[in-house]
Amino acid sequence: MNSGDTAWILVATALVMLMTPGVGLFYAGMVRRKNAIAMITLSIICLIVVGIQWVVYAYSLAFGNDVAGFIGDLSYFMLNNVGLEPAKGMTIPHILFMIYQMMFAVITLAIITSAVAERVKVSAFVVFGILWITFVYAPFVHWLWGNGWLAKLGALDFAGGMVVHVSSGFGALALALVIGKRMGFGEYSMEPHNIPMTLLGGALLWFGWFGFNGGSALAANGLAANAIVVTFVASCVAGAVWMIVSWIKGKPGSLSIISGVIAGLAAITPAAGFVDVKGAIAIGLVAGILCYIALDFRVRKGIDESLDAWAIHGIGGTWGSLAVGLFATKAVNDYAGLLYGNVALLKAQIIAVVATVIYAFVVTFILAKIVDVVMGLRVSHEEEYVGLDISQHGEVAYS
Amino acid sequence: MNSGDTAWILVATALVMLMTPGVGLFYAGMVRRKNAIAMITLSIICLIVVGIQWVVYAYSLAFGNDVAGFIGDLSYFMLNNVGLEPAKGMTIPHILFMIYQMMFAVITLAIITSAVAERVKVSAFVVFGILWITFVYAPFVHWLWGNGWLAKLGALDFAGGMVVHVSSGFGALALALVIGKRMGFGEYSMEPHNIPMTLLGGALLWFGWFGFNGGSALAANGLAANAIVVTFVASCVAGAVWMIVSWIKGKPGSLSIISGVIAGLAAITPAAGFVDVKGAIAIGLVAGILCYIALDFRVRKGIDESLDAWAIHGIGGTWGSLAVGLFATKAVNDYAGLLYGNVALLKAQIIAVVATVIYAFVVTFILAKIVDVVMGLRVSHEEEYVGLDISQHGEVAYS
Amino acid sequence: MNSGDTAWILVATALVMLMTPGVGLFYAGMVRRKNAIAMITLSIICLIVVGIQWVVYAYSLAFGNDVAGFIGDLSYFMLNNVGLEPAKGMTIPHILFMIYQMMFAVITLAIITSAVAERVKVSAFVVFGILWITFVYAPFVHWLWGNGWLAKLGALDFAGGMVVHVSSGFGALALALVIGKRMGFGEYSMEPHNIPMTLLGGALLWFGWFGFNGGSALAANGLAANAIVVTFVASCVAGAVWMIVSWIKGKPGSLSIISGVIAGLAAITPAAGFVDVKGAIAIGLVAGILCYIALDFRVRKGIDESLDAWAIHGIGGTWGSLAVGLFATKAVNDYAGLLYGNVALLKAQIIAVVATVIYAFVVTFILAKIVDVVMGLRVSHEEEYVGLDISQHGEVAYS
Amino acid sequence: MKMVLAIIRPEKLEDVKKALESKGFVAMTVNEVKGRGEQKGITLQFRGRTMEVDLLPKVEIFMVVKDEDVDTVVDTIIKSARTGRYGDGKIFIIPVEKSIRIRTGEFET
Amino acid sequence: MKMVLAIIRPEKLEDVKKALESKGFVAMTVNEVKGRGEQKGITLQFRGRTMEVDLLPKVEIFMVVKDEDVDTVVDTIIKSARTGRYGDGKIFIIPVEKSIRIRTGEFET
Amino acid sequence: MKMVLAIIRPEKLEDVKKALESKGFVAMTVNEVKGRGEQKGITLQFRGRTMEVDLLPKVEIFMVVKDEDVDTVVDTIIKSARTGRYGDGKIFIIPVEKSIRIRTGEFET
Ligand SMILES: Nc1ncnc2c1ncn2[C@@H]1O[C@H](COP(=O)(O)OP(=O)(O)O)[C@@H](O)[C@H]1O
Ligand SMILES: Nc1ncnc2c1ncn2[C@@H]1O[C@H](COP(=O)(O)OP(=O)(O)O)[C@@H](O)[C@H]1O
Ligand SMILES: Nc1ncnc2c1ncn2[C@@H]1O[C@H](COP(=O)(O)OP(=O)(O)O)[C@@H](O)[C@H]1O
């Protein structure tokens, strides 16, 4: 056990935990006043529900002994065999690795709430969430980090480009199609009720991402340092791209800028442990452009994936995961990408991206449909009209 | 000196520091708009006043050489003998231990402000606070952590179940009885003015608690990791309990959920270094139920302990301190509780809880009475009517 | 490489990063509602723009090989030669030192936005910012930390009293004179639109300052611990001074208290690695008084340095930098000040302070003038009237 | 028809609403305002500077009712909003020429 | 002159504004209010306690117009604000004796 | 009695209040509103989409005063609220039939 590494992951765990209410605030500022509490509360419910689920069985599904390359077994059920000593090959307590991973599961579900903003029934979301972590998230973790089939294939995902962002982004798209548009979407404008709240949430995400990507080195070393540097640089570049593009098209809106930053963060996530600063600049640049186009496309198509988890996390994560295959460099880690003469990695990344995109979309669609048929995903028209704060939580945000 | 341990406690200190404005925001969201600033400012004043008091003499009272098992002497007055080197038996600088402990003193006083919300005179609170830290908080620290009589008795308090939560919870109850109800309490409803602010404050508390309980290991090791795991799990379980109960009784209000989370955090605090995840689940479950009942009882009795420090911290801390005697396991630390065949620890815990509950309530009551008689704890009716923001601080929160 | 030191600086980097949106919120709460977004967005733009600029060339200007004692060369252009291994004499990865330093550059520019609040053109600010980092900030870093002429002279600046606070404070004063007063300044009162937001921002600053001053030890050791202790104590004392003074003059406003805290933090910054707690108390005490007087002076003179970067950071940093020459003690570090019988250090500090004050003011004035002449620093009257949120960003903060 | 426009204490809104409801007057429009009667001002302070604040939060209710209902409504408001202390508020009666329901277009005079 | 005072759904404000604009009525004052017509209340809850909330957000628009323009304005508002469901709102016509422009001091009656 | 309803610039509120106070008119109700006169709209943008925003913040003051005081009040407001630029606002005079003090029940007509 290394006390420096342990100190860093203890902190990184706290940082990633804070990101989930960060997502809540980020989203809540963009919805209407009558749904502000509901949006934040969904993120808190993610913490509570996934927190319990993870220690009971989901950690084991993700990291238990491999079953057919697809899922873990129940050897870590109720944290059996998850001790205070380091697991094999690690320098931090096994139980610390477990909770660090827990926070990733939590935030991934929180990102998805974008798709159901201002219209989801809380009870249905809880059920959906439990299913989704079981059938989408835990398998993805296993495939890429739990020695599953994609890991064996050689696919890389440093801090969750596919595990977190592709899964939540394409999951959100599927979920949005199942739950349907908000009443009045496309008819009248739904203005963000509190932009400073969104900027605060975005700042907390940015802050927490140091733990998210830096912590994924699982040690306090040069790799962790490189991860936070490329993470920050990519976010700056993508933020700058959105600022410039929205400037060209009108005015540099703060929501554009912060969305660009998040797009850059999502895109660099899978690559943070494999690329250098030049790679980070390239990733941020392309992420900025691609995600902006995706958002535009989504709006023009009239799809109410309300807070753009798909355009930002889904497309950002997809691009970043592919970019690993391009820009990975041995100057940083043991892997080389296409630019450094290795085509195998890119192939593995393409397979992994295609597999996760399809799986995330299809399985989420099915799960959402099941929940919708069984208990209804959506509140009644009347409840939607008065807002979820009153109808779901019996509360009023501001008085 | 160990640099990993030192790194962790440096960070943990910052995390616990952030909890105090966190309490301020948590509380401020629940009061009326006209008292929002005042509520946050009380927390800032706790930082400033206790920060100074602690380095001058209160640290010495707490950790100075033992005087009759009750209090420390003045050997650390003005931080004399508190150096940059580790104190005996520690791996972190002595001065770091001192400031880490300072943050606990600060937040404990901040929790108590629940009792005087929307009606306290700032000047009187400052005087009360100085007295309370001197005569209640510092002795408690000494008894349990400064080798005082409860420590000698074998009572355990990992991160402040009695020192922080029993003291502030029962102190708040006494203080509320002395200061009396808010004008209009029970006549008309006093609605929380900004629930997102409360949720943000709650999120910062949750975040900071990683440093609070994890840091109490005073090292970056397996014990610290276990502490953050059981802390998080207990909070999730208690949060889930409140969600479910408030759902059964009506709607799952966000304030219920976040209050449940805090109840779980308070309850696990004394136990975080002694129990495993199963213990944490049990502690969270019971804490959720007990604190909910306590809050209900408080409301039905018409006691205006306005923001429920007693129901949540007081009852949560009491239960958690007893639970140490039940669930402590040698799998985590050197101590075993009743479930593991040892009855002595439970006895010590019962004595410690009874002693601290009574002492906190009685001495706080006396101190509050003295301050009230000498200078008046409470603002005038007119000042209360226009609100403390204007009358105490000359400011308006929003314009 | 030391993993504990690395862990601490990884975290410290994140903490300092969070301070920049913290400044944004701190300032935004004090402006009118119509400029809330703009104020926060300026801080985000500082992150994005300086983040890119720093990795491209500004880090090299600051820390590259010395050119005539004045500036660094381009040996670190695009982070060439900035690796994952520790730089000479350090125990943390070189690239980590680079990003830790980046966050200082970012926040320094963010502090300056005080001067242009509610009236700056975003495009002009971006250009000004790039110039200012190049011609003021990077040289200052080089002079004091990059082995430049002031370092050679023996001047000390632990965490940025001159580099950060003198530069941004006196820069802000010059900038305010160039851009001119806000429309209506002095005619009608411009009330802060959201004081809780300012208090939240202040709390985040306070929190981040642990990383700012503590991290400047570049190690997790006794010096870092001492730094956070003296930092916190000085802030408490200065906060208490402002509370008392504003109480004497009327009521203890929360904005006064939090401003006092920031004044104490700014003042202790250059000294945090050199003085003990007694020195910290003295520094906080004098900082509280001096900055209060400065603010009062600024208001009476009718200078619209709108959010008091000059009075608080400029004067605080000036005083603290001089105080190093008075209170530095070998009990903490290798240097002794006047009180400990050494006059040489005070002389060096005086020279450094005078040089930086003059340079910051004059060069900032010139840069601002150039930008103003070339593209106009300020929005039109109409844009100022409707507010920057709408006119610069096309957004409305709350709806 | 008349508009009964009442300025009351915010904390009395619930009581007033209930009292009106019990008399069968449900429809109303409510607004948060600030006001002053004859109270003195209060001195505020912002970083050393001082300013006067003298407007206290009030709630404005208006109900458009038939002429013959005005007295009942006014009486009901007075009874439910009164505390007997300064600041209880005022009621103003304003003539309304016509009232139109947007949903149906029907109108009353 | 008359004041046309309309209480409408918040989401209809843009439509109403545009419709009025197209008829040449630009000047208006807008305010966020809460109101209820005949709808039933909704039960709220705060940490176990329950309370009734029955006021829904509405937007109040008023325009002071010449007597002869009242009907056009009312018609335009009705057409642009109507959804046909409960809660569409009301319009009230109130007499205005005089209207004064502060900038110039000129007045109309 | 008359209601003097003035829409003014927010930044002029203090001046107007003081001016009225000095003439002995203290009681008033104040409300934050948005309004437009003849100004053109401003284009807003949200993540690529654009929208028109044309309502600027204004303050609405109303004072119910005796008929003979109307002119003084109007004059005082005009003098204290005027800047001479577009957007200075408007004053409307509305008839009030009765004014009732809730605390005492006494009324004036
Ligand atoms: N003449 C008036 N014109 C406009 N508003 C008024 C007038 N008189 C009172 N008000 C409103 O009524 C509120 C309460 O009036 P107040 O004089 O305080 O009642 P009381 O006479 O019981 O003390 C004031 O805050 C103000 O909003
Ligand atoms: N008599 C009235 N007095 C004052 N306000 C009214 C009155 N009737 C309706 N309103 C206002 O109009 C809004 C809409 O009225 P509502 O009755 O819901 O319309 P509808 O008749 O189409 O259902 C209410 O919320 C309230 O603000
Ligand atoms: N006819 C009207 N009906 C309702 N409100 C009006 C009317 N004319 C003006 N206002 C209000 O007065 C405010 C100022 O009017 P404006 O036309 O800008 O003044 P000015 O004529 O000096 O330019 C507007 O924002 C609006 O709120």
The SS3 assignment for C337 reads: coil
Average pLDDT, chain B: 97
The nearest CA of chain F is from the CA of D88 a distance in Å of 5
Share of residues in chain C with pLDDT > 90 (%): 96
Q: What is the ipTM of this complex?
A: 0.96
Q: Running along chain C, 399 residues long, what does each successive block of 10 average in pLDDT?
A: 97 98 98 98 98 98 97 97 94 98 98 98 98 98 97 98 98 98 93 97 98 98 98 98 94 96 98 98 98 97 98 98 98 97 97 98 98 97 90 93
Whether residue B130 is predicted with pLDDT greater than 50 in this model: the reply is: yes
- H, E, C per residue of chain A: CCHHHHHHHHHHHHHHHHHHHHHHHHHHCCCCHHHHHHHHHHHHHHHHHHHHHHHHHHHHHHHCCEECCCEECCCCHHHCCCCCCECCCCCCEHHHHHHHHHHHHHHHHHHHHHHHCCCECHHHHHHHHHHHHHHHHHHHHHHHHCCCHHHHHCCCCCCCHHHHHHHHHHHHHHHHHHHCCCCCCCCCCCCCCEHHHHHHHHHHHHHHHHHHHHHHHCCCCHHHHHHHHHHHHHHHHHHHHHHHHHHHCCCCCHHHHHHHHHHHHHHHHHHCCCCCHHHHHHHHHHHHHHHHHHHHHHHHCCCCCCCCHHHHHHHHHHHHHHHHHHHCCCCCCCCCCHHHCCCHHHHHHHHHHHHHHHHHHHHHHHHHHHHHHHHCCECCHHHHHHCHHHHHHCCCCEC
- The structural domains of chain E, with segments of one domain joined by +, span 2-108
CB-based contacts of A394, cutoff 8 Å, min separation 6? B250, B251, B253, E43, E44, E45, E46, E50
Interface test with E, best of A386, A392, A398, A399 (most E CBs within 10 A): A386
CA of E58 to the centre of ligand 2 (A): 9
Distance CA A51, CA A59 (A): 10
Q: What confidence score (pLDDT) does residue F41 get?
A: 55
Interface test with E, best of A182, A189, A385 (most E CBs within 10 A): A385
Q: Are A299 and F48 within 8 A, CB to CB?
A: yes
Share of residues in chain C with pLDDT > 70 (%): 100
CB-based contacts of B382, cutoff 8 Å, min separation 6? B391
- For residue E46, give the nearest of A34, A184, A395 by CB distance: A395
The tens digit of pLDDT for each residue in A142-199 reads: 999 999 999 999 999 999 999 999 999 999 999 999 999 999 999 998 999 999 999 9
- For residue C255, give the nearest of D47, D50, D51 by CB distance: D47
Q: Are F42 and C189 within 8 A, CB to CB?
A: no
Cα–Cα distances in angstroms (integers) from residue F44 to residues A198, A297, C388, F41, in the given order: 18, 20, 12, 9
Whether residue B263 is predicted with pLDDT greater than 60 in this model: the reply is: yes
Q: What confidence score (pLDDT) does residue E9 get?
A: 93
Structure token pair of residue C254: 């929360």
pLDDT bucket at E109, cuts 50 / 70 / 90: confident
Q: Is the CB of E59 under 6 A from ligand 2?
A: no
Contact residues, chain D, for C246 at CB < 8 Å: 45, 47-48
CB-based contacts of F95, cutoff 8 Å, min separation 6? D94, D95, E95, E97, F1, F2, F3
Contact present, C31 and A227 (Cβ < 8 Å): no
Whether residue F48 is predicted with pLDDT greater than 80 in this model: the reply is: no
Contact present, A354 and A364 (Cβ < 8 Å): no
Distance CA B284, CA B268 (A): 7
Cβ-based neighbour number of residue A375 at 10 Å: 12
Q: What confidence score (pLDDT) does residue E46 get?
A: 45
- Contact of D49 with chain C, judged by CB distance below 8 Å, is answered with yes
Which atom number of ligand 3 is nearest to the Cα of residue E65?
1
Share of residues in chain D with pLDDT > 90 (%): 72
- Burial class of residue B369, CB neighbours in 10 A (0-12, 13-18, 19+): middle
The tens digit of pLDDT for each residue in A260-312 reads: 999 999 999 999 999 999 999 999 999 999 999 999 999 999 999 999 999 99
CA of D105 to the centre of ligand 3 (A): 28
Distance CA C70, CA B235 (A): 55
Q: What confidence score (pLDDT) does residue D51 get?
A: 53
Interface test with B, best of A44, A53, A109, A121 (most B CBs within 10 A): A44
Q: What confidence score (pLDDT) does residue E52 get?
A: 60
Distance CA B264, CA B187 (A): 31
Share of residues in chain A with pLDDT > 70 (%): 100
pLDDT bucket at F108, cuts 50 / 70 / 90: confident
The alpha carbons of chain C give a radius of gyration, in whole angstroms, of: 20
For ligand 2, mutation pick of D2, D5, D29 (most atoms within 8 Å of CB): D29
Share of residues in chain A with pLDDT > 90 (%): 96
- Burial class of residue C23, CB neighbours in 10 A (0-12, 13-18, 19+): buried
Mean of the pLDDT values across residues D76-82?
96
Q: What confidence score (pLDDT) does residue F87 get?
A: 84
pLDDT bucket at D46, cuts 50 / 70 / 90: very low
List chains touching E (3+ CB pairs under 8 A): A, B, D, F
More confident residue, F49 or C12: C12
CB-based contacts of B364, cutoff 8 Å, min separation 6? B132, B136, B170, B171, B174, B175
Distance CA A264, CA A275 (A): 14
Whether residue B175 is predicted with pLDDT greater than 90 in this model: the reply is: yes
Contact residues, chain E, for B259 at CB < 8 Å: 47
Amino acid at C361: F
Which residue from C158, C276, C270, C146 is spatially nearest to C216, judged by alpha carbons?
A: C158
Mean of the pLDDT values across residues F74-98?
94
Q: Is the CB of D26 under 6 A from ligand 2?
A: no
Contact residues, chain D, for B390 at CB < 8 Å: 42, 44, 53
CA of E80 to the centre of ligand 2 (A): 17
Whether residue D13 is predicted with pLDDT greater than 60 in this model: the reply is: yes
Q: Are A8 and C5 within 8 A, CB to CB?
A: no
The tens digit of pLDDT for each residue in A6-58 reads: 999 999 999 999 999 999 999 999 999 999 999 999 999 999 999 999 999 99
pTM of the model: 0.97
Q: What confidence score (pLDDT) does residue C357 get?
A: 98
Question: Nearest bound ligand to CA F105?
Answer: 1
Q: What confidence score (pLDDT) does residue F39 get?
A: 61
Contact present, A325 and A347 (Cβ < 8 Å): yes
Distance CA B280, CA A99 (A): 14
Pairing of the two strands D28-36 and D56-65: antiparallel
- Count B/D contacts: CB-CB distance under 8 Å: 25
Contact residues, chain B, for A84 at CB < 8 Å: 221-223, 225-226, 332
Contact residues, chain C, for A232 at CB < 8 Å: 17, 51, 99, 102
Whether residue F45 is predicted with pLDDT greater than 70 in this model: the reply is: no
Q: What confidence score (pLDDT) does residue D44 get?
A: 46
Q: What confidence score (pLDDT) does residue F47 get?
A: 46
The nearest CA of chain A is from the CA of C388 a distance in Å of 11
CB-based contacts of A115, cutoff 8 Å, min separation 6? A171, A172, A173, A175, A176, A179, A305, A306, A309, A310
pLDDT bucket at D43, cuts 50 / 70 / 90: low
Q: H helices of chain B, where?
A: 3-30, 36-53, 59-63, 94-112, 122-132, 138-145, 149-153, 167-179, 195-214, 222-249, 254-268, 277-300, 309, 315-327, 344-375, 381-386, 388-393
pLDDT bucket at D47, cuts 50 / 70 / 90: very low
Structure token pair of residue D96: 């309304």
Q: What confidence score (pLDDT) does residue C277 get?
A: 98
* Backbone angles phi and psi of F105, in degrees to 5: 85, -10
Q: Atom 14 (ligand 2): residue with closest C-alpha?
A: E89
The tens digit of pLDDT for each residue in B92-118 reads: 999 999 999 999 999 999 999 999 999
Q: What confidence score (pLDDT) does residue D109 get?
A: 82
Q: How many residues does chain C have?
A: 399
Q: What single-letter DSSP state applies at residue B394?
A: S
Q: Is the CB of D61 under 6 A from ligand 2?
A: no
The correct CATH number of D2-108 out of 3.40.109.10, 3.30.70.120, 3.40.1160.10, 3.40.50.280 is 3.30.70.120
Interface test with B, best of A10, A34, A106, A123 (most B CBs within 10 A): A10
- For residue B203, give the nearest of A5, A21, A37 by CB distance: A21
Whether residue F105 is predicted with pLDDT greater than 80 in this model: the reply is: yes
Which residue from A82, A107, A42, A2 is spatially nearest to B229, judged by alpha carbons?
A: A82
Mean of the pLDDT values across residues D3-24?
94
Whether residue D42 is predicted with pLDDT greater than 70 in this model: the reply is: no
Contact present, B74 and B202 (Cβ < 8 Å): no
Q: Atom 26 (ligand 3): residue with closest C-alpha?
A: F35
Q: What confidence score (pLDDT) does residue A54 get?
A: 98
Which atom number of ligand 2 is nearest to the Cα of residue E60?
27
Q: What confidence score (pLDDT) does residue F46 get?
A: 45
Share of residues in chain E with pLDDT > 70 (%): 85
Q: What confidence score (pLDDT) does residue D39 get?
A: 61
